[in-house]
Amino acid sequence: MKLIKREGEDFVLHIGRRERRLLFEVLKLYPLVPVAHHRVSQTAKQMDEHQTLLEEALAERRQENKRQLVAMLHEEQRFKETDAGYRLTLSAPQVEWLLQVLNDIRVGSWLILGEPDEKKGKPVALTSENARHYAAMEFCGLFQMTLLDAVQQGR
């Protein structure tokens, strides 16, 4: 995937056929970070009450994000087929929002993998059960870098 051009506030990207299929599969994982992973505070008189409110708000937001994600991906003009794949057109706010969704999948996959950190001597322990999350984490990172590069080029 790569940036083809910038048309006003819109980003026009080339995405290959396999990349598009992979993107659709990875986005099916959203949301992946557990709601309880987000903490209001580590200290706590009213923490339980505030935490409950936070979790409810996050759950509502995620449900809305999932609905918007499905709607966006199935818009007729979102992906225009070309000889070499597709042209994907996203507005600047859609790019920002997609970056957040991809980050949720990436971080959620990292959590499922046991929070690996090669630099600290904690490598990924791949199994047949978690291999798809490793692939999702890596693909989301690549897709995020591509989108961030497109944003940077557009400035």
What span, in angstroms and rounded, lies between the C-alpha atoms of 24 and 88?
13
**Residues 12, 23: contact at Cβ < 8 Å?**
no
Positions in the chain whose pLDDT score sits under 70: 36-47
Average pLDDT over the chain, rounded to an integer? 91
What SS3 state is found at 85? strand
pLDDT of residue 37: 60
Nearest to 20 by CA among 39, 35, 1, 47: 1
pLDDT of residue 42: 55
pLDDT of residue 49: 72
- 75 — phi, psi (to 5°)? -65, 135
**What residues have CB less than 8 Å from 51, skipping those under 6 apart?**
39, 40
In one letter, which amino acid is 52? T
Global pTM?
0.87
**Residues 154, 11: contact at Cβ < 8 Å?**
yes
What span, in angstroms and rounded, lies between the C-alpha atoms of 25 and 60?
23
Q: Report which DSSP code applies to 40.
A: S
pLDDT of residue 147: 97
Place of tokens 């409110």: 53
Q: Residue 116, class by beta-carbon neighbours within 10 Å (0-12 exposed, 13-18 middle, 19+ buried)?
A: middle
